[in-house]
Structure 1
Amino acid sequence: MKKQIHNLKILESRRKYLRSHLTPAEAFLWRHLQKSQLAGRKFRRQHSITYFIVDFYCPSEKLIVELDGHYHQNPDVAEYDAYRTEKLNELGFNVIRFENKMVFDFLPSVLNEIEDNFKKE
């Protein structure tokens, strides 16, 4: 039997909390990703894969989009982010990261880069 790695029950309340408390950058980007607005791809927000809760996940592309605020500039946090990315890559997911400021200042470029990470048909 295949081991479940998506949306483990143990993380359900944390996912719900994070969905109802999005950062301003997450809320802003979500308005452009929800309802399959970007190239018809469905995204989920605050989705868990194993014990990691990712900001945005596109199942059809196995693509994870992470937004990093000031907190992520801490060397310990940056090291953990790198570890997380490595583990998610090992599971076959592609992880891309943007600083929150990029989402607000260069949204079209951010959306283009996300699209550039879609598999070519």
Structure 2
Amino acid sequence: MSHAPVPPLRRANARRMRKTMTDAELKLWNELRAHRLMGLGFRRQMPIAGYIVDFVCPAHRLVVEIDGSQHALGANVSYDDIRSRRLQVDGWTILRFWNEDILRDIDNVCSHIIRTIGKDLP
């Protein structure tokens, strides 16, 4: 998989973010890591198309983003829309979940990811 160049500051930010996850990111990562979710392989804080995405399942071209309340603000909504459209042009499916969705209902979040990919639940 080829990547668009990622500026050094953004790449450094991704490294920092891998080390200091939010509670919601940690909770979802514990469900996704090591192929725990239906054998699916996920990576975190991965560069794609010049952006750093929260979680990605490369085999199914799926991006999972976790949004805090700052993503509901005007400028951030516009930025997220532009970013999502750019990733979709490259063939990625983008799922967005609020922090609270993950913290309160991780099972439903995981089920939604599986349904999006098209795998059958056990």
Q: Fold match, TM over 0.5?
A: yes
Shift of 1:21: 1.3
Shift, 1:15, TM fit: 1.8
Structure 2 gaps, min length 5: none
Aligned pairs for 1:1-121 (under 5 A) are: 4-5=2-3, 8=6, 10=8, 11-119=10-118
> 1:30 and 1:88, CA in 2 relative to 1: closer, same or farther beyond 3 A?
same
Give the CA RMSD over aligned residues.
2.0
Normalised to the residue count of structure 1, the TM-score between the two structures is 0.90
Aligned with 1:64: secondary structure? strand
Shift of 1:23: 1.2
Task: List alignment gaps of at least 5 residues for structure 1.
Answer: none
The alignment's TM-score, normalised by the length of structure 2, stands at 0.89
Q: Percent identity?
A: 31
Q: How many residues align?
A: 119
Following superposition, the deviation at residue 13 of structure 1 comes to 2.2
Q: 1:20, CA displacement in angstroms?
A: 0.5
Moved over 2 A (4+): 6-14
